[in-house]
Amino acid sequence: MFRAPRGTQDILPDEANRWRRLEAAARGWAELYGYGEIRTPTFEELGLFLRGVGEATDIVEKEIYAFQDKGGDWLALRPEETAPVVRAYLQHGLFNRPQPVKLYSIVNVFRYDRPQAGRFREFRQLNCEALGEDDPIVDAELAALLWRFLEDLGLRDLSLQLNSIGDSVCRPGFVEALVAYYREHLDKICPDDRRRLETNPMRLLDCKQPRCQPVIEGAPRTVDYLCGPCAEHFGRLQAYLADEGLAHQINPRLVRGLDYYTRTVWEVWPPEAGAQSTLGGGGRYDGLAEQLGGRPTPAVGFAAGLERILLTLEKQGLAPGEAESGLAFLAPLGQPAKRELNRLADRLRRRGVPATVGTGDRSLKALLRQANAIGARWALVMGDQELAEGKVAVRDLRTSEQRGLPVEAIVDELAREVLA
């Protein structure tokens, strides 16, 4: 027997309902903030991610699904969506439009990660990017978008963690201080950190090893090294967040490892924060477009994990409210009734009422059990007597109330209720 590959999941109809509602809400919030949808390919040239995510990152070093196709080209399943969006922005000359260009997408992404609760190899993200603008009001807008979306789902006790990591003017001074500090603590850090000290010192700050935590605690903080323009940007960002009533915590340990990340970094954490629980995170990447061969383009964005959001909803007892099913289950008792109900089902569907006809030759009890099992709203029962009278017994499966209605009246009656 085959099974879905490790770290992937099938989404069956009940679960798919929750997904559709979550995705509809995500879409709704992105559009409320003026973001337009972009859809990019599931795979890209591998080189896009080597440059656009960075070769010295876990995503590229350990997690990317890369393959050579039959034509010999190296491709990769997208491990994230920012680089593809920037690629599309450059490819289609979107920089010629009034800036910023605001784009969102809901995409599946792929990472060869170690599967565990909240960590998959194929997962889904809401991704929002604003390209071509350095005004910190856009940074604030993106954080607000994710925050309001999560709040509207009913999630409680979230926290917005915020940091600024400076830019090419002030970051070198910080990195120098960080490296000097770590050189004095070499005996206390993990082997990975010793490597990071050479390859990617910013990432020392998000090492998860317990033994490295005290060293991180005492490390220099990016916010203490910001140059004037970065400090002003950060100050204005915080003021805009305050205008919208969004509380945040400054977290000096939030970093991004690569040079094209600048200034703003943030994450939204659920109450029981841990490496597997971050709901979403974003930041500014003013150097990325140039890294991908474009002109310098300030930009900022975020990605939020939809599986994580569903898990957190569940933990908080909030599985996104079951939408009313307007499904009619037509329960025939006998072949002539089945013909009549088959015709009725067709008329219902054409009026927008979901309808399904009971199959085989089953008892009323078995038919009603099935109607309940598939979450139908009504059972429309017809046996010989109803057939002779031109009627259907309409049972409301929520209340178990039953009434007889003429076949002629049913389509109008149910359409009215479903479309109300």
Instruction: Report in angstroms how near the CB of residue 23 gets to ligand AMP at its nearest.
Output: 15
Instruction: Report in angstroms how near the CB of residue 268 gets to ligand AMP at its nearest.
Output: 8
Which residues does 274 contact at the CB level (< 8 Å), separation at least 6?
none
Kindly tell me which of 298 and 305 has the beta carbon lying closer to ligand AMP: 305
Instruction: Report in angstroms how near the CB of residue 259 gets to ligand AMP at its nearest.
Output: 17
Beta-strand (E) ranges in 286-417? 299-305, 328-332, 355-357, 378-382, 391-396, 402-406
The residue type found at 141 is: E
Give the position of tokens 């959001």.
309
d(CA 168, CA 212): 27
| CA proximity to 164, closest of 214, 223, 215, 108 | 223
Site of interaction with ligand AMP (CB under 6 A): 80, 111, 113, 118-120, 123, 125, 278-281, 303-305, 307-308
Kindly tell me which of 309 and 376 has the beta carbon lying closer to ligand AMP: 309
Over 132-152, what HEC string results? CCCCHHHHHHHHHHHHHHHHH
Instruction: Report in angstroms how near the CB of residue 63 gets to ligand AMP at its nearest.
Output: 8
Kindly tell me which of 316 and 325 has the beta carbon lying closer to ligand AMP: 316
Kindly tell me which of 44 and 307 has the beta carbon lying closer to ligand AMP: 307
* Strand 328-332 versus strand 378-382 pairing type: parallel
Which residues does 397 contact at the CB level (< 8 Å), separation at least 6?
329, 371, 372, 376, 377, 378, 379
Kindly tell me which of 257 and 358 has the beta carbon lying closer to ligand AMP: 257
Q: How many residues does the chain have?
A: 420
Instruction: Report in angstroms how near the CB of residue 58 gets to ligand AMP at its nearest.
Output: 9
Kindly tell me which of 111 and 171 has the beta carbon lying closer to ligand AMP: 111
Instruction: Report in angstroms how near the CB of residue 307 gets to ligand AMP at its nearest.
Output: 5
Instruction: Report in angstroms how near the CB of residue 231 gets to ligand AMP at its nearest.
Output: 25
- How wide is the angle at C-alpha 417 spanned by C-alphas 412 and 420, nearest 5°? 110
Residue nearest to ligand AMP (CB): 305
Spatial contact of 150 and 313, defined as CB atoms under 8 Å apart: no
Kindly tell me which of 278 and 291 has the beta carbon lying closer to ligand AMP: 278
The residue type found at 198 is: E
